[in-house]
């Protein structure tokens, strides 16, 4: 089928990156062609929608191919979502954001299927848990699925930081309960503290948000506190140090200046001892 007739699955949650793995796929396709056909379905608006095979499609474009082997399936929206998610979750190195969006898409599709078919009886339907069903397919608990799906409530900037491992998964789940504006404030607080939040810090922000709202000042205060993992280390609150530095100084600049001054002090002390 001509590549020009194919387009991505709507809402496809998995990123197609031009990385080393893609370069290897392109080289393989140039030498051997596309070994596994894409699975596609007819689009009522014209052309065909790719279900599994987005990376192969992109690699074929980069390899300069005009056509690619496909298998055409007649699938409704729910069945197509489930096939797309299941085929991609077999990959290695899936980002938290990809897993979160994929789990949610499959859960929504399973729930819609359950509502549509009624799962044969009200008794069966009442026991059906889409999150547990998604978990069975990938070997994790329903609770793990639910926690990943929580990440879809994060604003893009915070979710990107989870993918980049600048924010750990468990604190990110707690941060997902913050309102969008609070999440934007959190990014400022994180930059102010030059540190990522612990689970307990994120939980306190969540609790504050649910009780009366969590302000930027609240977040800076929480982020200023010493984490349990840092017990035994010497730590200063940024607010205690700011009076000694220009207002424009960041916490990182303050830290660098303090270390430089301590090194100078140590050298003077060593010279004095040698006299």
DSSP assignment of 90-121? TSSS--HHHHHHHHHHHHHHHHHHHHHHGGGS
In the predicted model, what is the mean pLDDT of residues 203-221? 95
Name which of 84, 24, 32, 77 is nearest 53 in CA terms: 84
Q: Which of 1-15, 54-68, 108-122, 144-158 has the lowest mean pLDDT?
A: 108-122
pTM score, whole prediction: 0.74
For residue 225, the model assigns a pLDDT of 78
- Tell whether the model's pLDDT for residue 122 goes beyond 60: no
Question: For the purposes of burial, counting CB atoms within 10 Å of the CB of 109, is it exposed (0-12), middle (13-18) or buried (19 or more)?
Answer: buried
Pairwise pLDDT comparison (199 vs 236), residue with the higher score:
199
Whether 164 shows a pLDDT value over 80: the answer reads yes
Q: Please tell me the predicted confidence (pLDDT) of residue 270.
A: 82
Percent above pLDDT 90 for the chain: 65
The predicted model gives 209-223 an average pLDDT of 94
Backbone angles phi, psi at 240, to 5 degrees: -75, -25
Query: What pLDDT sits at residue 124?
Result: 40
Residue 22 clears pLDDT 60, i.e. is over it: yes
pLDDT of residue 115: 59
């Amino acid at each position: 089928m001509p590549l020009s007739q194919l387009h991505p699955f709507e809402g496809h949650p998995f990123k197609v990156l031009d990385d080393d793995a893609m370069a290897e796929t392109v080289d393989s396709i140039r030498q051997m062609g596309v070994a596994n056909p894409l699975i596609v379905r007819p689009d009522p608006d014209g052309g065909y929608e790719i279900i599994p095979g987005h990376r192969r499609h992109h690699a074929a474009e980069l390899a300069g191919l005009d056509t690619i082997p496909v298998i055409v399936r007649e699938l409704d929206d729910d069945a197509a979502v489930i096939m797309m998610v299941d085929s991609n979750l077999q990959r290695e190195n899936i980002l938290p954001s990809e897993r979160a969006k994929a789990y949610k898409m499959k859960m929504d599709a399973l729930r819609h299927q359950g509502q549509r078919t009624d799962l044969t009886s009200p008794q069966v339907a009442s026991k059906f848990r889409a999150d547990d069903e998604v978990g069975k397919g990938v070997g994790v608990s329903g609770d793990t699925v639910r926690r990943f799906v929580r990440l879809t409530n994060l604003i893009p900037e915070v979710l990107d930081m989870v993918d980049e491992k600048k924010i750990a998964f468990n604190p990110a789940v707690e941060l997902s309960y913050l309102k969008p504006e609070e999440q934007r404030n959190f990014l400022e607080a994180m930059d102010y503290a030059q540190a990522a939040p612990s689970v307990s810090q994120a939980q306190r922000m969540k609790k504050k948000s649910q009780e009366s709202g969590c302000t930027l000042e609240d977040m800076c205060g929480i982020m200023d506190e010493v984490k349990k993992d840092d017990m035994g280390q010497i730590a200063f609150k940024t607010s205690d140090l700011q009076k000694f530095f220009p207002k424009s100084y960041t916490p990182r600049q303050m830290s660098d200046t303090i270390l430089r001054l301590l090194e100078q002090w140590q050298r003077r002390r060593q010279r004095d001892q040698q006299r």
